[in-house]
Chains A and B, each alone.
Chain A
Amino acid sequence: MTEPFFDIAVGAASFVAGLLGALIGLGGGIIVTPLLVLLFGIDLRYAMGAALCSVIATSSGAAAAYLRDGISNMRIGLFLCIATTIGAICGALLATVLDQSVLAIVFGVSLLATVFLSLRKKPESRLLPEDSDPLALKLDLPDELPEQDGTKSPYGVAGLVPGFCVMWVAGVLSGLLGIGSGAFKVLAMDQIMRIPFKVTTATSNFMIGVTAAASVGIYLKKGYLDPALVSPVALGVLAGAFVGAKLLAVAPVRVLRVIFLTAVSIIAVQMILKGLH
């Protein structure tokens, strides 16, 4: 394929990835990378570098909106970012030395895990601020969630140390695979730290950008960011995520989720097979 068409095709595929990501609640990054690798035969590390940039773009756009609404908890976000950024650097360094086929397998498995995580929904069990982890109280992490009727409901934060550790792992995955690893971040905050779902989603959005920025520095240094690839991917995913977020209100989300999650699972298996060959 020659140049303008190649970039247009890559941009179109990235748009679809961003759209899908927004509609089924996965990040665009975890979908765009396998598409680039499987459809265009692009080197996995270049694809991951481009995906990281797209993750930062979408996170910066969306996090701004959440911050304005006052839902996201900056203190929790910043505190956990210590874990995710350090993890991200470890992961990115690991990515530069690991064999591509190993990376492809790990990627496929993580993608399957993400699908699994997004399928299961546990009821939210909110914690009162006074029942929080003592360390969380010391760090002043509990806050209030503004409800739709204008009232504010306070919430507490549990399991700070295990949450911090899982966040480190989420950071490693983010750096290693060039993804936002939002699903894993939400898992840690939701299930372990028992933070209300709305707060976890908004806060993880802020964290995803910061985490991705920590690993993208390594990718940049190693030369895996090629503007010729990053540009169409970042723009495509950003546009796709934007349109997807608008469509979310009118689209038959339930049906789409089932179809797309099946498609994503197939992609994941293909990545694993690619790694095995």
Chain B
Amino acid sequence: MIVGTMISASLIAVGLVWYLSAHAGQSPGDHLFSGEPKYFSDPIDMVRRAFDFRAIGERRSIAMIGIFLLLLNPPARVLLAGAGYLLEKNRVYALISGVVFVVLAISFFW
């Protein structure tokens, strides 16, 4: 868990520096102030974009992957807990973990 947090934190840091090096001197996006939703709504598209080096100005994608890893932390923990209960043959709590995981999955893939 701590390792996971550290990996995602460092990815975010790398991505942030990289993004800033590309955008030095520019004003921060107007969308932050106006609230126009569009970026990175699709996890798969996000990963694809991160590795698309031709897309200058999308360098923030690296940071986004770090953020995405961070977001995967809690569901992963629930899944691990569920697996643990399954091994203990604790059906009730394997089921409860499963329900929480499904709710999380629904929220990510609405």
A45–B9 Cα distance when bound, in Å, is: 22
* Pairwise interchain contact B41-A42, C-beta atoms closer than 8 A: no
CA distance A92 to B37 in the complex (A): 14
Is B29's CB under 8 angstroms from A56's CB?
Answer: no
- Does A24 lie at the interface of the complex (its beta carbon under 8 Å from any beta carbon of B)? no
Establish whether residues A60 and B1, one from each chain, have CB atoms under 8 Å apart when the complex forms. yes
Q: Are A227 and B31 in contact (CB under 8 A)?
A: no
* Residue of A46, A65, A89 with most chain B CB atoms under a 10 A cut-off: A46
Min distance, Cβ A108 to any Cβ of chain B, angstroms: 19
Known: A3-B20, A78-B100, A234-B9. A223 touches B37 (CB 8 A): yes
Of A1, A217, A221, which one neighbours B104 at CB under 8 angstroms? Answer: A217
Query: Which residues of chain B come closer than 8 Å to A226, judged between CB atoms?
Result: 29, 31-32, 39-40, 60
Report B52-99 residues with CB < 8 Å from chain A CB. 60-61, 63-64, 66-67, 70-71, 73-75, 77-78, 81, 92-93, 96-97, 99
Report the minimal beta-carbon distance from A48 to chain B, rounded to whole angstroms. Answer: 11
* Interface residue A2 (Cβ < 8 Å from any Cβ of B): yes
**Contacting residue for A227 out of B40, B93, B109, CB 8 A:** B40
Chain A neighbourhood of B24, CB < 8 A: 2-4
B60–A228 touching, CB < 8 Å: yes
Residues B12-68 near A (CB distance < 8 A): 12-13, 15-16, 19-20, 23-29, 31-35, 37-41, 43, 60-61, 63-64, 66-67
Docked complex Cα distance between A136 and B33 (Å): 47
Question: B67 to A231, Cβ gap below 8 A?
Answer: yes
Q: A64-B1, A235-B9 known; A81 and B70 CB under 8 Å?
A: no
Q: CA of A238 to CA of B19 in the docked complex: distance in angstroms?
A: 20
* A220 x B41 contact (CB < 8 A): yes
Q: Which residues of A contact B20 (CB under 8 A)?
A: 3-4, 7
Interface majority SS on A: helix, strand, loop or mixed? Answer: helix
Among A79, A89, A206, A225, chain B packs the most CB atoms within 10 A around the CB of: A225
Q: Which residues of chain A are near B110, meaning CB under 8 Å?
A: 217-218, 221
Q: Is A204 an interface residue (CB 8 A)?
A: no
**Interface hits, A62-111 → B, CB 8 Å:** 63-65, 67, 74-75, 78-79, 81-82, 85-86, 88-89, 92, 100
Residues of B within 8 A of A64 (CB): 1-2, 5
Assess whether A235 is in contact with B12, with CB atoms less than 8 Å apart. Answer: yes
- A228-B75 in contact (CB<8A): no
Q: How far is the CA of A27 from the CA of B39 in the complex (A)?
A: 27
B residues lining the A interface (CB < 8 Å): 1-2, 4-5, 8-9, 12-13, 15-16, 19-20, 23-29, 31-35, 37-41, 43, 60-61, 63-64, 66-67, 70-71, 73-75, 77-78, 81, 92-93, 96-97, 99-100, 103-104, 106-110
Q: A88-B107, A89-B106 are in contact. List 5 more A-B contacts (CB 8 A).
A: A41-B33, A213-B75, A227-B12, A227-B39, A227-B67
Sorted nearest first, the 5 A-B pairs with minimum C-beta distance are A223-B37, A217-B107, A43-B35, A213-B74, A217-B108
The interface of chain A, by Cβ under 8 A from chain B, is: 1-4, 6-7, 41-46, 53, 56-57, 59-61, 63-65, 67, 74-75, 78-79, 81-82, 85-86, 88-89, 92, 100, 139-140, 206, 209-210, 212-218, 220-232, 234-235, 238
